[in-house]
Chain A
Amino acid sequence: MSDTPRVPTRAPLRLLSILAFLAIWAGAAALADSPDVPGPLAVMRFVVAEAAGGALFYHLGVTLARVAAAFLIAMAIGTAIGVLMGQHHTLNRALDPWIILLINIPALVVIVLCYIWIGLTETAAITAVALNKIPNVVVTLREGARALDPKLMEMASVFRFSRTRLLRHVVLPQLLPFIAAAGRSGLALIWKIVLVVELLGRSNGVGFQIHLYFQLFDVAAILGYALAFVCVMLFIEFVLVQPLELHLNRWRPGAVSRPA
Chain B
Amino acid sequence: MATEVLQGIDFTLAPETFTCLIGPSGCGKTTTLRIILGLDRDFAGTVEQASPPPRMAAVFQEPRLLPWRTVEQNVRLALPPHDRPSSGAPDLDALFAVLGLQDLRARFPAELSLGLARRVALARAFAVMPDILLLDEPFVSLDEHTADRLRALLIALWQERRTTVLMVTHNVREAARLADRLLLMNGRPARLVGDVAVPMARAVRGGETLNRFLATLTREHPETVLA
Contacts and interface: CB of A to CB of B under 8 A. Distances in A.
Contact of B77 (A151, A154, A165): A165
Q: Which of B66, B108, B124, B128 has the most CB of A within 10 A?
A: B66
Contacts of B108: 251
B60 A162 contact: no
A155 B64 contact: yes
B60 A151 contact: yes
Interface string B109-131: 01100000000000010001000
Interface in A114-165: 151-152, 154-155, 157-162, 165
A159 B60 contact: no
A155 B60 contact: yes
A118 B37 CA distance: 54
Contacts of B38: 157-158
A173 B39 contact: no
Interface residues of A, number: 17
B77 A169 contact: yes
B120 to A, nearest CB: 12
Contacts of A162: 81
Contacts of A151: 60, 62, 64
Secondary structure type dominating chain B contacts = loop
Q: How large is the interface on B (under 10, 10 to 19, 20 to 34, 35 or more residues)?
A: 20 to 34
Contacts of B128: 159
Contacts of B67: 251-252
Interface string B40-80: 00000000000000001110101010111100000001101
A158 B56 contact: yes
B80 A160 contact: yes
Question: Most chain-B CB neighbours within 10 Å: which of A154, A157, A253?
Answer: A154
Nearest to B39: A154
A157 B64 CA distance: 12
A252 to B, nearest CB: 7
Interface of chain A, main secondary structure: helix
Contacts of B56: 158
A253 B128 CA distance: 28
A161 B77 contact: yes
Nearest to B128: A159
A107 interface: no
A170 interface: yes
Nearest to A253: B110
Contacts of B78: 159
Given A151-B60, A158-B37, A160-B80, A169 B110 contact: no
A112 to B, nearest CB: 44
Contact of A252 (B58, B62, B110): B110
A154 B38 CA distance: 9
A169 B69 contact: yes
A131 to B, nearest CB: 33
Nearest to B38: A157
Contacts of A158: 37-39, 56-58
Given A158-B37, A161-B77, A253-B110, A173 B66 contact: yes
Contacts of B81: 162
B103 to A, nearest CB: 12
B64 A251 contact: no
Nearest to B79: A159
25 contacts: A151-B64, A152-B64, A152-B66, A154-B64, A155-B60, A158-B38, A158-B39, A158-B56, A158-B57, A158-B58, A159-B77, A159-B78, A161-B77, A162-B81, A165-B77, A170-B66, A173-B66, A173-B68, A251-B68, A251-B69, A251-B110, A252-B67, A252-B110, A253-B110, A253-B111
Interface pairs A-B: 7 shortest CB-CB: A253-B110, A159-B78, A251-B108, A155-B64, A173-B68, A251-B68, A158-B58
Interface of B: 37-39, 56-58, 60, 62, 64, 66-69, 77-78, 80-81, 108, 110-111, 124, 128
Given A158-B58, A252-B67, A253-B111, 16 more contacts: A151-B60, A151-B64, A152-B66, A154-B39, A154-B60, A154-B64, A155-B60, A158-B37, A158-B39, A158-B57, A160-B80, A169-B77, A173-B68, A251-B67, A251-B108, A253-B110
